[in-house]
Amino acid sequence: MHEQEVEIRVVSSLREITAQDWDACACPEAADGGRPDDPFTTYRFLSALETSGSVGAGTGWQPQYLTALIDGQLIGVAPMYVKSHSQGEYIFDHNWAHAYERAGGRYYPKLQIAVPHTPATGRRFLVRPDFEETGTAALVQGAVQLAQNNNISSLHVTFCTGGEAERAADMGLMLRKTQQFHWENHGYADFDGFLASLSSRKRKNIRKERAQAQAFGGTIRTYTGDDLQPEHWDAFWRFYQDTGARKWGTPYLTRRFFDIAQETLRDDMALVLAERDGVPVAGALNFIGGQALYGRYWGCTEHHPCLHFELCYYQAIDIAIARGLDRVEAGAQGEHKLARGYLPRPTWSLHWVGDPGFQDAIARYLEAERDAVDEEISVLTEYGPFRRAKVEEQE
């Protein structure tokens, strides 16, 4: 069979690609109007980041979207950025950068294939159906070639799927294993059904935490779709600024992102607000995928016992059960999630480094890190909140 020639191009703005073409690669399952499996690689989400100035000039995330074409037809894309720092990635390589620069190298700029500011697993090599093998290989090779041709130190593909990790590792990229805490829906009819799967002590503790949270003096409501209104984003922006200032120094997303989200992303979002006398005092923002709910941001203007756990973890479980979703992915870090029903699950990234000596050192580090992550996942799962029979069943 004659092998088709794939052309690789880089474009600096999504305005150079139509939403229809991008989404035919990113979320073909939504072609009939259904919900995308991954809300973060859709044209509308990535475009909101770009149009709002959350990526682009001055952010350290310069778009260089990778495209693959056969006979002029777009068959694959990848959300690629030139990075001048390592912020907003949640897969930490600061030590690599420091080591390389101490040795006289120049680590930045680097290439990053990722969804900016979003530690959620999903496809990173977005290929039309029937072109998976050809398109993925072309995008991987094209990204590495771009790094080599431009004397860029490294390429990083973060929060890719396990299948992508396996294929790209076979092509020579280095594999990194990390972990997150996810809640998984085992067909629970309601929150009480989930509680019944826990040990007695953990079950009592969660009921106590929910009661404490509900006693903050107001009501908790979830807004999505047309129920979301501009004033909700005014309130959430205050929460987000407070959290962003404490965690990152400055928030990653601009205020305009939330205005654009109101117009184009409101069906993809579930905003949980704690309100007293009609005034929001805390909130948690989730994104809705085809099989998962993704917890993203939390903030408050008042501190109340257990309100963070309620809005971020327990309300998310309620939403997932009500919508029949398979899981809740609660974002990066946080062993405190374990006691609340969220178990450790592996996450994957891929790395290419141009300097052979540096690559060898990182490869050895990653091998040891994978063993350590496996051990940590095993230990944490063993000490999880589920009744013993339940843990054995999940394993």
Write out the chain's pLDDT in tens, 395 residues: 346 799 999 999 999 999 999 999 999 999 999 999 999 999 999 999 999 999 999 999 999 999 999 999 999 999 999 999 999 999 999 999 999 999 999 999 999 999 999 999 999 999 999 999 999 999 999 999 999 999 999 999 999 999 999 999 999 999 999 999 999 999 999 999 999 999 999 999 999 999 999 999 999 999 999 999 999 999 999 999 887 666 656 789 999 999 999 999 999 999 999 999 999 999 999 999 999 999 999 999 999 999 999 999 999 999 999 999 999 999 887 889 999 999 999 999 999 999 999 999 999 999 999 999 999 999 999 988 887 654 444 44
d(C-alpha 231, C-alpha 152), whole Å: 44
Q: Looking at residue 393, what is its pLDDT?
A: 44
Q: pTM to 2 decimals?
A: 0.95
As a whole number of angstroms, the distance between CA 246 and CA 238 comes to 13
Q: Given this model, what pLDDT does residue 390 score?
A: 45
**pLDDT at position 174:** 97
The Cα–Cα gap between 285 and 208 comes to: 24
Both tokens assigned to 310: 């309620």
Phi-psi region of 160 (alpha: psi -120 to 50; beta: other; left: phi over 0): beta
With contact defined as beta carbons under 8 Å apart, do 81 and 112 qualify? yes
CA pair distance 371, 270, nearest whole angstrom: 37
Other beta carbons less than 10 A from residue 197's beta carbon: 19
The residue with tokens 């001055």 is: 58
The predicted pLDDT at position 74 comes to 98
Amino acid type, 181: F
pLDDT at site 244: 64
Q: At 322, list the tokens.
A: 């009500």
Instruction: Tell which residue, 153, 143, 32, has the closest CA to residue 81.
Output: 143
The whole-number pLDDT of residue 334 equals 82
Angle between helices 255-264 and 43-51 (to 10 degrees): 150
Identify the pLDDT of residue 220.
98
